[in-house]
Amino acid sequence: NAEGRTLIARYEDFILMNIYFPNGKQREERLQFKMDFYKNFHEYALDLVKQGNHVVICGDYNTAHNEIDLTNPKSNSKISGFLPEERAWMDCFVESGFVDVFRYFYPQKEMYTWWSYMFKARENNVGWRIDYFFVNSQMMYKIENVAIHNEVLGSDHCPISLTLKK
């Protein structure tokens, strides 16, 4: 798109998409842009799978999917990144056959990938898990592991990694 949010690499066995999804901020028009981006991206990803491709989608989704994915879900329920409509889109994405690889391997683990620079949030581990690896369900047999590297500093986000089986 015009904001340069998507990188796509085609490999022999799969297509890798690295995406920086829009932040809804606190403005109505920006939230609508985010929701439209989600919708268009979802249609594109489904088309790739329908064509017989395995798909790996990683990046900053700018939404914590479930309460376990952020420290203070109740106080953030009206904040972009945890709004009902954003979370509903993630529900729909999962229901359409895409798997949150971290949640698949670690269904109850509380780990975060983003912390505000304010109020010593990272030091106190007051964070959000908004960076994900999703794959189409038919690709799960190729996944060995996924990790959140919250010990790595240098940004308000930490790296995440996906290991494929040989």
**145 bridge partner residues:** 163
Which of 126, 92, 113 lies closest to 156, judged by CA?
113
Distance CA 147, CA 23 (A): 24
Q: What is the pLDDT of residues 116-159, one digit of tens each?
A: 999 999 999 999 999 999 999 999 999 999 999 999 999 999 99
Number of C-alpha atoms within 13 angstroms, CB side, residue 94?
16
Q: Kindly give, in sequence order, each residue whose CB lies less than 8 Å from that of residue 88, ignoring residues fewer than 6 positions away.
A: none
Query: Domain spans of the chain?
Result: 6-164
Topology of domain 6-164, CATH: Deoxyribonuclease I; Chain A (3.60.10)
Active-site residue, from 60, 69, 100, 131 = 60
Q: Which regions of the chain are under pLDDT 70?
A: 1
pLDDT for the residue numbered 1? 64
Whole-prediction pTM:
0.95
- Cα distances from 113 to residues 9, 61, 124, 141, 148, in angstroms, run 23, 11, 13, 25, 7
Give yes or no: 60 in active site.
yes
The amino acid at residue 111 is: M
